[in-house]
Amino acid sequence: MGRGARPAASTPAPGPAMARRHVALSLAIIATAALGACAGDTNPVRDVAVGAGFGRTVPQRPDFVEASRPAGTDYMPVGVAAPPRALAKKTPDQVKAMEAELDGTRTGHGPMADEARRLAATPPPAPVKLDADGNAEPVPGARRRR
């Protein structure tokens, strides 16, 4: 070789390091394909499984489902005002009538609320006392079953 000439580049001999790289690359490709199975409509793993007869095909939707769902769903775009409502604004007299109805309902529920507060204020029963054998002591005034 002359002066300034470079030696010919040689490829490294395949060894354990190269084999590990190939295994790692293969595992990465397999993992990517397996995780691709989680995708929605574009799922090559599922398509291969269904084509081979292992996967489950999507069943046909019943007629009542097809009839009850619109062909396309329209979403309101961002920045566009909502369409006006069909309901008219209530007059002050209608608002006062609704308030009176709600006040009447609240007044009617007052006795039920008082009863609930009274029942909630009762003390809890005393704990059961056990004798030396582990049997419950009889409650004074209670009848025994036979």
Residue-wise pLDDT for 58-100, tens only, equals 788 888 888 887 777 677 778 888 888 888 899 999 999 999 9
Buried b (16+ CB within 10 A) or exposed e, 46-63: beeeeeeeeeeeeeeeee
Give the span between the Cα atoms of 86 and 64, in whole angstroms.
29
pLDDT at 145 over 70: no
pLDDT at 45 over 70: yes
The domain limits of the chain are 18-69+92-120
